[in-house]
Structure 1
Amino acid sequence: MKIVGIDLSGPSNHKDTAVAVFDDQGDTLYLDQLLNTASDQDILSLITNLSAEEQVVVGIDAPLSYEDGGGDRKLEKELRQFTKELGMKSGSIMPPTLTKMIYITARGMKLASLLNHHVNVKVIEVHPGATLAARIPQDEGREHSLFYKRSPESADWIANWMMTFGLRGMQVNLLQTSHLIDACAAAIAAWGYGSPNRNPIWSYDANPPHHPYPFSC
C-alpha cells in the first residue's frame, strides 16, 4: 500500500504545494519520493500511476467540502474543541469559506473529486498540525508541533521526531520547508486512517452527499 500526504496551497501557488509518498511496511513508512512543487496534473499523474499497481491512501491538507451557507462545518466545531485541549490556538482551525481559505477549499474539492474516480484510491481530509500535536505528549515536546512553521529549531525537532515515530528513508535536511513537513504529517494521518495495522487518534466520518470524505488526524 502507498501512503500519500499532500500539503495543498491555492490553485496558482504550485511552489507551496508539497507531496510525500511512502510505502506502508506495517510498523514503518518508507519514503518513496518528495515533491516540493506540484500542480494538479502532477498530483493526478503521480497517484494514477501509483494506483495502477496497488492501493493508495491519500491525505489532503485542505477542506474537501464546505457548509451550505458558509461558516464552520460540524467537523470544524468538534475538531477545534479537540485541538484546544492539545494547546493549539482556535484560529488554526478555519472555516472552509473564509476568504483566506476559499481558494484552497476549491482546489481541494476539485483534486479530491479527480482522485476519487480511481478504484484503488482512498481520499481523506487531514490537518497536519493536529496530527502532530495529537501524537506528541505534552511533556515530550508537543510545543514544537505548535511552532515548527516559524521556528527552524522546532522544524528540525519535528523532522527528527518523525523518524523516531516510524518514517524511514529520509533525512532531516530533506525536509527543507514547512510544506514538506506538513506533507509528511498528512501522510501520518492517512497512515493512521488507512492502514490495517494503525488507528487514527481523532477521526470524523464522511457524511455524503455534501461531505463525502472522512477526516483523520
Structure 2
Amino acid sequence: MKIIGIDLSGPSNHKDTVLAVFENQAGALRFNKQLSNIGDLEILNEVTHQSQNDEVVIGIDAPLSYQDGGGDRPGDKELRQYIVSLGMKSGSIMPPTFNRMVYLTLRGIKLSREIGNLKTENPISMVEVHPGAVIGSRISRSHLDYVLSYKQDLAARRFIRKWLGEQKLTNLPVLIEEESHSMDACAAALGAWHWRDKQFQPKWILPADPPLHPFDYCC
C-alpha cells in the first residue's frame, strides 16, 4: 500500500504545495520521496505513477466540499470543538467558503474529482485530513506546545519530526524540518494511514455524506 499525504495550497500558490509519498512496510510507513512547488498535473501524474503497482491511499489537507448556503460544514463544527477540547486553537479550522479559504476549497474539490476520474491499475481512495489535529490528537498533552508552534518554530518541527518517527513513520529526512508544509504532508499521510489500515483507527472521523460531502473527514 502506498500512502500519499498532500498539503495543498491555493491554485496560484504552488510553492506551498507539498506531496509526500510513503510505503506501508511491515506495520510502518517508510518515507519514499517528497515533491514540492507542484501543480495539479504533477500531482495527478505522481498518483498515477504510484498506483501502477499498488493500492494508493491519499490524505489531503484541504476542504474537499463546501456547505451549500455557506458557512461551516457539520464536520468543521465538530472538529473545531474536538481540537479545542485537546487544548488547540479553533482558528485553524475555517469555513470552506471563507474569503481566505475559497480558492483552496476550489482547488481541493477540483483535484479530488480529477483523481477520482483517473483510470488506474490499482484502487485509489481519498480522505480529507487536518494535519494539526492528527498530531495534536496523538501527542502527549505535555508536548502540546510543540503542536501550537511548529508552523513558526524550527525547534518544534525538530521535535515533531522525531515524534513522527515514534509513530512508525520511518526514514524521514531532515528536510521535512525546513518548513511546516512538509511536516503537514507527513502528518496528512499519518492520518490517511490510520484511516485506511484496519489495525488503526482515526482519532476523530465524520463519514462521507454524498452527494454533497463525498469524502470522509478525519484526523
Structure 2 length as normaliser, TM-score? 0.95
Mapped pair 1:108 → 2:108: yes
Partner Cα separation in structure 2 for residue 31 and residue 146 of structure 1:
25
Matched residue, 1:167: 169
Matched residue, 2:14: 14
Partner Cα separation in structure 2 for residue 86 and residue 104 of structure 1:
26
Supply the AA of the counterpart residue of 1:126: V
Matched residue, 1:31: 31
Q: 1:145 aligns with which of 140, 144, 147?
A: 147
SS of residue in 1 equivalent to 2:71: coil
Mapped pair 1:48 → 2:48: yes
User: In the alignment, is the contact (CA less than 8 A) between 1:4 and 1:56 conserved in 2?
Assistant: yes
SS of residue in 2 equivalent to 1:75: helix
User: In the alignment, is the contact (CA less than 8 A) between 1:59 and 1:186 conserved in 2?
Assistant: yes
Partner Cα separation in structure 2 for residue 162 and residue 38 of structure 1:
24
Partner Cα separation in structure 1 for residue 150 and residue 172 of structure 2:
18
SS of residue in 2 equivalent to 1:142: helix
Structure 1 length as normaliser, TM-score? 0.96
Partner Cα separation in structure 1 for residue 202 and residue 116 of structure 2:
21
In the alignment of these two chains, the number of paired residues is 216
Matched residue, 2:127: 124
Deviation at 1:173, TM superposition (A): 3.6
User: In the alignment, is the contact (CA less than 8 A) between 2:30 and 2:171 conserved in 1?
Assistant: yes
Partner Cα separation in structure 2 for residue 26 and residue 82 of structure 1:
31
Partner Cα separation in structure 1 for residue 174 and residue 139 of structure 2:
18
Partner Cα separation in structure 2 for residue 169 and residue 151 of structure 1:
22
Deviation at 1:201, TM superposition (A): 1.0
User: In the alignment, is the contact (CA less than 8 A) between 2:136 and 2:144 conserved in 1?
Assistant: yes
Deviation at 1:160, TM superposition (A): 1.2
Q: 1:202 aligns with which of 197, 201, 204?
A: 204
Partner Cα separation in structure 1 for residue 172 and residue 75 of structure 2:
33
User: In the alignment, is the contact (CA less than 8 A) between 2:161 and 2:172 conserved in 1?
Assistant: no
Deviates more, 1:75-84 or 1:165-174: 165-174
What does 1:71-86 align with in structure 2 at a 5 Å threshold? 71-86=71-86
User: In the alignment, is the contact (CA less than 8 A) between 1:24 and 1:195 conserved in 2?
Assistant: no
Partner Cα separation in structure 2 for residue 174 and residue 97 of structure 1:
30
User: In the alignment, is the contact (CA less than 8 A) between 1:21 and 1:32 conserved in 2?
Assistant: yes
Supply the AA of the counterpart residue of 1:203: I
Supply the AA of the counterpart residue of 1:121: I
Supply the AA of the counterpart residue of 2:203: I
Supply the AA of the counterpart residue of 1:133: G
Partner Cα separation in structure 2 for residue 192 and residue 168 of structure 1:
15
Q: 1:154 aligns with which of 153, 156, 170?
A: 156
Matched residue, 1:213: 215
Matched residue, 2:63: 63
Q: Identity of paired residues, percent? A: 46
Mapped pair 1:2 → 2:5: no
Deviation at 1:26, TM superposition (A): 4.1
- Cα 1:49–1:173 change in 2 (3 A) is closer
